[in-house]
Structures are given as C-alpha cells and as structure tokens.
Amino acid sequence: MNMFTANPATPELRRPTAIFPGYMSGFGNGCETEALPGALPVARNSPQKCPYGLYAEQLSGSPFTAPRKTNERSWLYRIRPTVAHWSDFQKMDARLWRTAPAREVDMPIAPLRWDPLPMTLESLSFIEGMRSMTTAGDAGTQAGMGAHVYLATRSMVDEYFYNADGEMLVVPQDGRLRFCMEFGVIDVEPGEIVVIPRGVKIRVELLDKSARGYVCENYGGAFTLPERGPIGANCLANPRDFLTPEAAYEVKEVRSHLAVKWGGTIWGAEIEHSPLDVVAWHGNYAPYKYDLRKFSPVGPVLFDHADPSIFTVLTSPSETPGTANIDFVIFPERWMVGENTFRPPWYHMNVMSEFMGLVYGRYDAKPEGFLPGGVSLHNCMLPHGPDAEAFETASNADLKPQKLEGTLAFMIETRFPQQVTAFAAASPELQKGYGAYGRHLVSHFNPTER
C-alpha cells in the first residue's frame, strides 16, 4: 500500500493525503501533524524511544522563559537530528546579501526610488539571487531588518538553507515558489506571502520559469498579528486565513549542500542526506503563508485619511509598546469614500523609515514611476507625499465613492533608519532625481480667498 502522495513536481516529498501541499488553518496555533500514522509521541515530547526510530528535537524560537503570549517552540520528530546534518562549514560568497550593521555608503538624505531589478539570464537560486537594498539596526542585537529583492532562475536541487540571523517574510511579485521545509511544503504566488521562522531549513523550487519578489529579513521579535483595539474581534488579517503546512518529509541519502546564514556570513558545508527529514511535528513555531487578498481593510467611512497603520498585516514588536521593530503594511484594493477629503496619503515626515514595494497595479500616491517590482525608500524624518499629478487630481476630483482596483502595494516600516547598500546605491535602476518630485508642487496660496 502506498500511503504517500506522489506529487509529480516533487515526487520525493511524502505525505499522507491526496491534497498537496496540505495546510492547517489558524495563526500561532499549537499544531500537531504527522506524515506517518502514530509518528507523534502521545502525551509527552521526549519518550525513551520515539515511534519509527525517530529522533526528537526541539526548535526554540523564543527564550524558554518567554511569557506564554510570545513563547514559541516546536518539537520535530526526524530521521536524524540537525547535528547529524552538520559538517565542516566554510565561508561562502554572500554575493549581494548584506546584514546590518552595514554602512557601505553614506546614507543619502533624499527619498529614493528604484525601477524593478531586471530578470537575469544568470543561473540563480532563491538564495543566490538575494539583492539587499537596505539594512537597519543590528542583527547581532536581534533588532532591525534587511530589505531585499530576490531574482531566481533555478530551483535548488539537493541544496538547503537556513537563516539564523532572522525570520524571513517573502513577498512574491512575479512567479510562483514552492518552499520545501522541515515542517512541510508551502506554495506561494504573487498576492500571497510566506513567513519562515529563524532556523527553519528550506529548499526553494520555482514553479514558473523565473521568480522575483521581496524579502523582509526580520532580526527582531517574531511577526505577530497587530492588536485591533476598538476595531474589535474581526477584520484586518483574520487568524483563520493563515496556513501552516502539514508534515511532509523526504528520504534522500545523496550528497547535498547546506548553507547557513549566521552572524551576517553565509557558511556552507557538504552533507550526506536531506535535512528535510521531519516525519511529524507539533508546536507553535512553524512557517506559514497568508493570502493578502483575504485582508479585510478598515478605514474612514465619512472623512479624512487614516494612518496607514490600519492596514498592518503583521507586526514585529519591540520592547517599547507601540513602537514596532517592523510593521508589514499593505495597500490593497479598497473603496475610497471620504467626503471633503484629500484621499491619497497626506504629506508626511516620520520617525519610522518606510520601504515600499509594489506587487501589482498602481499606487495611488505615485501613479507614475513606481512600477511593480520597484522599490521606494522614505527614510527617518525625510519628507514625502503625493506628487504634483496626484495632488492636482485628488484636489479637484469629483468625490464620488471610488474603488481602487487591481492594486497591491506594501510597506515595511521600521523604527531604525535604513542604510542603503552599495549595490542599491550603484544600481542603474536607481531613479535619478526622484526626490525632486516635490519641487513640482506649486504654491496655491491666495491670502484674499479662503
């Protein structure tokens, strides 16, 4: 009897049902899942002998003593423990992946914007194709983040990776990806995100010819759902829409390569078997995906433009209440209905630093020049706002209810100033003179007319 699904795209990954990949619904749940019946020990974590001769291993995403609300750990029942997937690691070429602190160039005192990085003919895996645009904070103090664009043209084959420096929030912009992980398999497409906790081993396959997107590498507290306050118990990102993979494992006794990002360096070693050998697991520390199109936006229904924090999908808290290490915010499809209201984002200076990307469509504050796959950066206390075209259009619009359709932009907002990498500063995609858009805003002041 074959109790495993033979998936044509990934035949070596075995799991017990016909739906592939399989997911469990909910955010931050204590899950349990097994790819072989009875693989999970009953009522204990670490029996003298685990079923099927498996090893038990705990993966702790928080200190043991963290409060229950932030305490994260999972128990993995695996063919070999991670120490058996260890070898002599050598320093690898990190290519264009940078880690804070990394002050490679003087930080420009200007808003910056980049055209999409063009797809390359170079053979690049998801890891090899990581291009850091900004870094912030200090990974060694577990505070801050890196913001990257990835370009990928090949699947990883017998190659595995984990990131000890941070959790990775991946925002595909072009091309679908399959994340084969110790915890199971997640498929994502543009419009969805996947979050991979620190320390989780992955192999990334392309489901299309090539892939491009964004990665927020979070050195700080794990992403969680924001408080809703007076919004109440519903709307924004609802917990049931977060999907965690069911257990799946592979048995591969072949020469493989494990890369580990640790301390800002990427280390590599040859290993003899696949580390994606977790037959069952339970716990609340696991990767998950979320479809951003399931976000239920809440906004002003009579007048004014609310702060963008109302569109927070996930937040990485800091020790200071209300001051995020990172907020991940989206600007999705929504109705604009405000009466006597300037509807685009207002002119703004901010102690937080704003990195933006566009998955598809047009962003209402910058209808031209901010392209899908592009990047903008509005750093700490640098002024920004709608360009002249957006201002004139919005100031003179007939304020009927209007639906912003076919658009999905996002913002990664951090409390730390963002350092631009040398790669991003020298990139031909850096738009010359973007910061000058404000100079096209003319005075409308007339002291004789209110």
As measured in angstroms, the least distance from the Cβ of 22 to Fe ion is 40
As measured in angstroms, the least distance from the Cβ of 376 to Fe ion is 10
Please identify, using beta-carbon distances, which residue of 34 and 354 lies nearer to Fe ion.
Answer: 354
**Chain residues 347-366 in contact with Fe ion, contact rule CB under 5 A:** 348, 350, 354
HEC-encoded secondary structure of the chain: CCCCCCCCCCCCCECCCCCCCCEEECCCCCEEEECCCCCCCCCCCCCCCCHHHCEEEEEECCCCCCCHHHCCEEEEEECCCHHHHCCCCEECCCCCCCCCCCCCCCCCCCCEEECCCCCCCCCCCCCCCEEEEEEEEEHHHCEEEEEEEEEECCCCCCEEEEECCCEEEEEEEECCEEEEECCEEEEECECEEEEECCCCCEEEEECCCCEEEEEEEECCCCCECCCCHHHCCCCECCHHHEEEECCCECCCCCCEEEEEEECCEEEEEEECCCCCCEEEEEECCCCEEEEHHHCECCCCCCCCCCCHHHHEEEEEECCCCCCEEEEEEEECCEEECCCCCCCCCCCECCCCEEEEEEEECCECCECCCCCCCCEEEECCCCCECCCHHHHHHHHHCCCCCEEECCCEEEEEEECCCCEECHHHHHCCCECCCHHHHHHHCCCCCCCCCC
As measured in angstroms, the least distance from the Cβ of 413 to Fe ion is 8
Please identify, using beta-carbon distances, which residue of 172 and 385 lies nearer to Fe ion.
Answer: 385
As measured in angstroms, the least distance from the Cβ of 331 to Fe ion is 11
Contact segment (CB under 5 A) with Fe ion among 79-87, 152-160, 341-349, 365-373 equals 341-349
Please identify, using beta-carbon distances, which residue of 287 and 385 lies nearer to Fe ion.
Answer: 385
Please identify, using beta-carbon distances, which residue of 281 and 363 lies nearer to Fe ion.
Answer: 363
For Fe ion, how many residues bind (rule: CB under 5 A)?
3
Please identify, using beta-carbon distances, which residue of 72 and 354 lies nearer to Fe ion.
Answer: 354
The one catalytic residue in 305, 384, 440, 444 is 305
Please identify, using beta-carbon distances, which residue of 204 and 382 lies nearer to Fe ion.
Answer: 382
Of 80, 85, 87, the closest CA to residue 269 belongs to: 87
Distance, in Å, from the CA atom of 281 to the CA atom of 101, rounded to the nearest integer, reads 35
Active site residue 305: yes
**Chain residues 206-225 in contact with Fe ion, contact rule CB under 5 A:** none
Binding to Fe ion by residue 305, rule CB under 5 A?
no
As measured in angstroms, the least distance from the Cβ of 256 to Fe ion is 44
Which residue minimizes CB distance to Fe ion? 348
Q: What's the distance, Cα to Cα, between the start and end of the chain in Å?
A: 82
As measured in angstroms, the least distance from the Cβ of 191 to Fe ion is 23
Contact segment (CB under 5 A) with Fe ion among 10-18, 83-91, 342-350, 416-424 equals 342-350
Please identify, using beta-carbon distances, which residue of 349 and 388 lies nearer to Fe ion.
Answer: 349
As measured in angstroms, the least distance from the Cβ of 334 to Fe ion is 18
* Binding interface with Fe ion (CB under 5 A): 348, 350, 354
Residues labelled catalytic: 305
